[in-house]
Amino acid sequence: MGATIRTLGLFAFMIGLFKAIGWLVGSLFLGDWLLGAIVFLVLAALVNAISYFFSSKIVLWSYRVRLVSEAEAPRLYRTVRNIAAMNGMPMPKVGIIPTSTPNAFATGRGPKNAVVCATEGLMRILDDEELSGVMAHEMAHVKNRDILVMSVASTIAGAISFAARFAYYGALFGDRRNEGGLLVGILIAITAPIAAMIVQLAISRNREYKADYEGAKLIGRPLYLARALEKLEAANRRDPLKFGNPASSNMFIVNPFRGGGMVTLFMTHPPMEERIKRLRQMASKMGQY
């Protein structure tokens, strides 16, 4: 419940920021703040709607995912199937990513068209318990419809960025005598997209915390995921992913491109130490050590 409330609060902030920009842009350059806000939101929504419906295929292609059957990947397939059966969830498609970097992600618009993917490296370094912890985390993303949540966040952030650029160019090429409008346009262009990105990343980190918690609940064993995360964090630092798009790093259970030394504010994932700490505290409350 706490994670849901935080996510709703972050969405409320983004919507409030967008409304403020729409009011400023419309008032200064269009003479109608409501018209400006609606136009920007519709355009951003169209772009992100196309991305939402086709992003799954694009992601699977960009990471060279090969969909597999139980005969081709029996250990991975059975693990996912058992988690789905235990929790009354539809069986997703299962994919293998051809890389030694150990990682995993889930994609798809919802439980009925989800794809859960693991790298070849992940299959090699995790034991069965750790593998079930990782797959439960990914199944929690599917259950929570996190692809939808992040698509909505992306829509709002895209609308804010579009409005900010419009404000800048409107101020730059508008009435030269309106120095106040120019300064406001420049200020919006610089600060609004950064604020939107920070909030979008905060939502991403919040969804990871929730997937850790929900995934641990799906199998009743928080320590399975805690042990897996320790291995994955160390392995991804040693051997970061050599292909794919860093813009999609938030999809993975740990950042596969390892931007070391980043300020937490600009991280796609929560600090690993905190994730493991929360899982161990959860296990302790359940009497597991």
Identify the residue whose tokens are 């609060």: 9
Q: What is d(CA 81, CA 30) in angstroms, rounded to the nearest whole number?
A: 55
DSSP code of 27? I
Q: Is the CB of residue 80 less than 8 Å from the CB of residue 142?
A: no
Looking at the DSSP assignment, which residues form a beta bridge with residue 115?
Answer: 93, 107
Residue 213: which of 104, 148, 164, 286 has the closest Cα?
286
Q: How far is CA 223 from the centre of its chain?
A: 23
**Element holding 242 (H helix, E strand):** none
Q: What is d(CA 10, CA 153) in angstroms, rounded to the nearest whole number?
A: 9
In this structure, are strands 66-68 and 104-107 parallel, antiparallel, or unpaired? unpaired
Give the pair of three-digit tokens for residue 77: 């397939």
Looking at the DSSP assignment, which residues form a beta bridge with residue 68?
Answer: 94
Residues involved in catalysis: 138
Identify the residue whose tokens are 């972050």: 10
